[in-house]
A and B are shown apart, each in its own frame.
Chain A
Amino acid sequence: MSDNNSEFTLRAQGITKTYSAKSGAINVLEDIDLELSKGDFVTISGPSGCGKSTLLMVLGTLQEPDSGTLKYGDITPYGLSPSGRAEFRSKNIGFVFQDFNLVPYLDVRENIMCPGIVNPSADLEPRSSELLEMLGLTDRSNHYPDQLSSGEKQRAALARALLLRPSIIFADEPTGNLDQSNGRVVLDCLANYAEDGATVIMATHDSAALSSGNKHVQFNEGKGITVKSE
């Protein structure tokens, strides 16, 4: 974890998010309270469409909630300007999207190194090689996203999120497209990352993945959440 990151406690209070659609408003998040600290490996589960991805986006400062506050230590990200928030993200947050979101015209290595444009440092090249090695993508490093399988894309997306060693990682179904052994690699990678002192928040359906976490957030039928710690 980069040394310049302060030791966050992530605190969300009264988070509400409603989507307006033609058929009417969809209340996805209602009055969500959550508190996470350094070293937590959090799993988020619930039926499809319950709002797992939305919660990750809101917590990951990618989507402003309709109400409620989000605090990283003393910092209120949604109180910052969009640029300020982008800078905050670049320094503290890694995000693995459910649908990978690789840049189509960059090859795997370039995609992984992309966050380095905002925060350049000398060891990005060896760091990217290390991640490629660790996630079994070394022989795919020159391939473009449309030449990869879903599992490969997923691992590339994870490598990209890990590049700058952010203090908090959001992973949206990171094992959704992986076979058992590759899934294990990814889960171990995230678990080790959390053990090293970062916070990992993962949305998943996967029972193996669910058992990796030390804290569980369960979406209830009635929109609320239940938080369980082990």
Chain B
Amino acid sequence: MNLFRIIRREISHSRGTFLMGVSAVIISVLSYIISLSILTSSKSSFLNGMQIMQADLKKEISGLEDAIRKSMKGLGFNIHIYPEKQDLSVIYEQGYGEQTMPENYVEKLANSNIVTVNHLLPRLTEMVKWKEKDQSVLLIGVRGEVPIAFRGENRKKALIDPVKVGDIVLGYELHKKYGIKPGETIKFMGKELNVTATHSGRGTVDDITAWMALSTVQELLGKPDLINGILALECNCESLDRLGDIKKEIGQILPNTRIIEKESKALARAEARNKVKRTGQTQIQNFALSQKQLIVNQSITTTLFVLIVSALSIGWIAYLTFSNVAARSVEIGILGAMGFGGTKLVLLIISRATLMGITGTLCALVISLIAVPLAWGREVFVAVFLDMSNVFILMCVPTLLACSAAWIPAIKGSSKDPAEVLRNE
């Protein structure tokens, strides 16, 4: 005969109230686990949403950057290098200069250690008469991009494709007006040329421009190995201050040239790109903020829910324990009369509540071990049950609550004189 036997006997004697207490604990633990799982699952879907949004933004921005980079060649952006003697008023007047400089200037630049410029495009430009059609044409001879030597494989992708010898590319007005299609062969200033591309309308001088290989234009204009400008494109135009540095650097390599900065539409584009990026990020931040607010609201609701359910469960357990103690007052009186001290009597009553807590918790755990992965997936399950603090709360709190609910009635029941307990029964 020992105390544990009495506890066992008593529990099996009053199975009903014991099971009611166990179910109170099960309900309170389950509601905790369920709330936790809901929170964890909404947090993880929030994080997934954030990741997808961020990836989308990144893709969009890099697409935008690519588009900007490609369109820059059409913007006449950045730096024009002209011979030193070139009168700038002529440039502003007709868009190109009459002064020329050796074509190998561009090689000089390309073979230097120039860092501020990414693309070098030598060109020979002149307004000519297309004798065959009696049409003014801005003739531009291009050589394609001159690779900057020291960068090797790391150099930037070429912005424009060179026009091959024997080919011609026509602006909008030139092909539209004469019904010329790509693939046709035309005669231009006595030369048979193959039309490889035609541009759509841009509303600029580009529309009456014809592009040819530099060497062909040099030949047509009688200016062998000469060019009248180098277009130097700087793509990473993030700060205006860098233009000064570009001028300085080029001036050191090619002293007898002059450099002018054309209007920087690309800067505006870069600005626009940054703006898109910022807007996107703000949107993501707003999304994050609203989601966080949602999660906070949700956790307040679930916390309240858990608190209410727990309070009800504690009340329930306390009520059951109180009524149990009342029902057990005879036993408490008898055992007290036989010499059971207060500690033993308290232990007797508390153990019942403790067993209630432990049994209820274990049942709830078994139920949730099966139910949580089914309802919310493995990820949530692992997140909820790998968190040691959760496991700790799940293991200890319900039992402690059950115990403390039993504490007061236990003390009350065991502190009276046995005769009084027996008589009050």
Chain A residues proximal to chain B, CB less than 8 Å: 57, 60, 62-64, 82-83, 86-91, 93, 95, 97, 101-106, 110, 113-120, 124, 160
- A-B contacts besides A82-B417, A104-B13, 17 pairs, CB < 8 Å: A62-B337, A83-B341, A83-B342, A86-B340, A89-B337, A89-B339, A91-B339, A103-B334, A103-B335, A105-B9, A113-B1, A114-B335, A117-B3, A117-B344, A118-B338, A118-B339, A118-B340
In the complex, chain A residues whose CB is within 8 Å of the CB of B417:
62-64, 82
B307 at the interface (CB under 8 A from A): no
Give the contact-size bracket for chain B: 20 to 34
Interface pair B331/A104, CB less than 8 Å apart: yes
Alpha-carbon separation in the docked complex, A28 to B10 (Å): 36
In the complex, chain A residues whose CB is within 8 Å of the CB of B5:
110
Question: Can you name the residue of chain B whose Cβ is closest to the Cβ of A64?
Answer: B417
B330 at the interface (CB under 8 A from A): yes
In the complex, chain B residues whose CB is within 8 Å of the CB of A64:
417
Residue picked from B12, B337, B415, most chain A C-beta under 10 Å? B337
Can you give 29 A-B contacts (C-beta < 8 A)? A62-B419, A63-B420, A82-B341, A82-B415, A82-B417, A83-B341, A83-B342, A83-B343, A86-B339, A88-B339, A89-B338, A90-B338, A93-B339, A97-B334, A97-B337, A101-B330, A101-B333, A101-B337, A103-B6, A104-B13, A105-B10, A105-B13, A106-B9, A110-B5, A116-B1, A117-B2, A117-B3, A117-B340, A118-B344
Counting from the closest, the 4 A-B pairs by CB-CB distance are: A90-B339, A105-B13, A63-B419, A83-B341
Q: Given A86-B336, A117-B3, does the pair A101, B9 have CB atoms closer than 8 Å?
A: no
Q: Given A62-B418, A124-B1, does the pair A82, B342 have CB atoms closer than 8 Å?
A: yes
Question: Can you name the residue of chain B whose Cβ is closest to the Cβ of A19?
Answer: B423
Q: B1-44 toward A: CB 8 Å interface, digit per residue (1/0)? A: 11101100110111000000000000000000000000000000
Question: Can you name the residue of chain B whose Cβ is closest to the Cβ of A62?
Answer: B419
In the complex, chain B residues whose CB is within 8 Å of the CB of A120:
2
B186 at the interface (CB under 8 A from A): no
Question: Can you name the residue of chain B whose Cβ is closest to the Cβ of A128?
Answer: B1
Which chain B residues (334-357) contact chain A, with CB distance < 8 Å?
334-344
The smallest C-beta distance from A222 to any residue of chain B, in angstroms, reads 25
Chain B residues proximal to chain A, CB less than 8 Å: 1-3, 5-6, 9-10, 12-14, 330-331, 333-344, 415, 417-420, 422
The smallest C-beta distance from A182 to any residue of chain B, in angstroms, reads 23
Residue picked from B341, B415, B422, most chain A C-beta under 10 Å? B341
The smallest C-beta distance from B194 to any residue of chain A, in angstroms, reads 109
Interface pair A95/B13, CB less than 8 Å apart: no
Alpha-carbon separation in the docked complex, A114 to B3 (Å): 9
Residue picked from B12, B338, B422, most chain A C-beta under 10 Å? B338
Residue picked from A57, A93, A124, most chain B C-beta under 10 Å? A57
Alpha-carbon separation in the docked complex, A86 to B341 (Å): 5
Question: Can you name the residue of chain B whose Cβ is closest to the Cβ of A163?
Answer: B338
Interface pair A87/B341, CB less than 8 Å apart: yes
Alpha-carbon separation in the docked complex, A91 to B338 (Å): 9
In the complex, chain B residues whose CB is within 8 Å of the CB of A95:
337-338
Question: Can you name the residue of chain A whose Cβ is closest to the Cβ of B331?
Answer: A103
Question: Can you name the residue of chain A whose Cβ is closest to the Cβ of B9?
Answer: A105
In the complex, chain B residues whose CB is within 8 Å of the CB of A91:
339
In the complex, chain A residues whose CB is within 8 Å of the CB of B331:
103-104
Interface pair B415/A106, CB less than 8 Å apart: no
Question: Can you name the residue of chain B whose Cβ is closest to the Cβ of A102?
Answer: B334
In the complex, chain B residues whose CB is within 8 Å of the CB of A89:
337-339
In the complex, chain B residues whose CB is within 8 Å of the CB of A115:
338-339
Q: Given A104-B331, A124-B1, does the pair A117, B341 have CB atoms closer than 8 Å?
A: no
Alpha-carbon separation in the docked complex, A113 to B10 (Å): 16
Question: Can you name the residue of chain B whose Cβ is closest to the Cβ of A57?
Answer: B419
In the complex, chain B residues whose CB is within 8 Å of the CB of A106:
6, 9
The smallest C-beta distance from B176 to any residue of chain A, in angstroms, reads 107
The smallest C-beta distance from A56 to any residue of chain B, in angstroms, reads 9
Question: Can you name the residue of chain A whose Cβ is closest to the Cβ of B14?
Answer: A105
In the complex, chain B residues whose CB is within 8 Å of the CB of A83:
341-343
Q: Given A83-B343, A103-B331, does the pair A114, B338 have CB atoms closer than 8 Å?
A: yes
Alpha-carbon separation in the docked complex, A60 to B333 (Å): 14
The smallest C-beta distance from B19 to any residue of chain A, in angstroms, reads 16
Alpha-carbon separation in the docked complex, A103 to B419 (Å): 15
In the complex, chain A residues whose CB is within 8 Å of the CB of B419:
57, 62-63
Interface pair A110/B337, CB less than 8 Å apart: no
Alpha-carbon separation in the docked complex, A51 to B342 (Å): 28
The smallest C-beta distance from A174 to any residue of chain B, in angstroms, reads 15
The smallest C-beta distance from A201 to any residue of chain B, in angstroms, reads 15
In the complex, chain B residues whose CB is within 8 Å of the CB of A101:
330, 333-334, 337, 422
The smallest C-beta distance from A66 to any residue of chain B, in angstroms, reads 13
In the complex, chain A residues whose CB is within 8 Å of the CB of B339:
86-91, 93, 115, 118-119
The smallest C-beta distance from A187 to any residue of chain B, in angstroms, reads 23
In the complex, chain A residues whose CB is within 8 Å of the CB of B3:
117
Alpha-carbon separation in the docked complex, A194 to B401 (Å): 50
In the complex, chain A residues whose CB is within 8 Å of the CB of B14:
105
Question: Can you name the residue of chain A whose Cβ is closest to the Cβ of B336?
Answer: A86
Alpha-carbon separation in the docked complex, A134 to B331 (Å): 26
The smallest C-beta distance from A102 to any residue of chain B, in angstroms, reads 8
Residue picked from A88, A91, A117, most chain B C-beta under 10 Å? A117
The smallest C-beta distance from A109 to any residue of chain B, in angstroms, reads 9
In the complex, chain B residues whose CB is within 8 Å of the CB of A97:
334, 337, 422
